[in-house]
Structure 1
Amino acid sequence: MAEETPNTTADQNAPQPSLHIVGQYIKDLSFENPNAPASLAPGAAPQIGISINVSAQKQDEKIYAVELTINAKAERDDNVLFNVELVYGGLFDIQNFPENQMHPLVMIECPRLIFPFARQILSSITQNGGFPPLLMEPVDFSAIYRQNLEAAAAKIKEGEESTVN
């Protein structure tokens, strides 16, 4: 008695999802050390504020440009030590993913793949500017994604409430 095998030929012939980095680039890089050389004098540890924004734009049917905008500002005693802005991007070839997975894929996975490169640039530029290298912790892009979805939902809800009143 022969065992029946499920028909998996259709599954095997279906195109497999793929995500490839086509290229990476620096779109904008700015480093300011407005109080040099006084800013390099020893002193108390600076307060460092960092913000990260993710944006994406579809370039054609399967190519997406995803950009990280990272701002880092170090201050001590109300004096700016340094201010860095980096817009770092990646071009991604994305094929055969279900439509309902595209937005999280582009806004979470793509930034996660290029972030280490952007982090290295920030580390190098702050060190080359005369400061210790800025060593950013890994970023939870899925948490940023959820926060942005919640903020968008709240904005929509505010709009609905203001039109009702």
Structure 2
Amino acid sequence: MSGHGTGRVVVGVSGSLASLAALRAGAEEARRGGRALIAVMAWEPPEGEGLYLRHPDPVWARHWWNEARARLDRAFDEVFGGPPPGVEAERRVIRARPGHALCDVAADPDDLLVIGVRHGRRRTSRLHRHVRSHASCAVLTVPAPPVPKGMRRALRKVTAEDFALVGE
């Protein structure tokens, strides 16, 4: 899959507000540049790779792959209501640490790697540090939308469906 422009726009998606903002910005960059959009959801077994390798269970691994795929699909539904309009998009679920997965996919110097960052975060995340030191292409960081402090706790429990009911 390649767009009209050079390189692709690779976006890290986790389902967080920051990654949803990154997905929206990445789609706009892809649309504007005639590039393909590659959305990447990285995952690892919840018990960690080390423990999983000592007690491998393919059914368990498939379950977590399916969970990651569902989160990636939900992100597209929440941001665009389905596939993003006007852009060729590919969804990839990769079993790896997020930084490694993103840098492996965005390996071409003409690619653009887009990641979300939490608004107001004082320290950079492990992902941000890894990407900053290992990416072989340009990196765009997109901040999550700011949320007033008093609303943060309540918003952790809100779903996309809650917002859909507002106008009804």
Q: TM-score range by the shorter chain?
A: under 0.3
Larger helix percent: 2
Q: Which has the larger radius of gyration?
A: 1
- Report the TM-score, using the length of structure 2 for normalisation: 0.28
Which structure has more relative contact order (CA 8 Å, sep 6+)? It is 2
Larger strand percent: 1
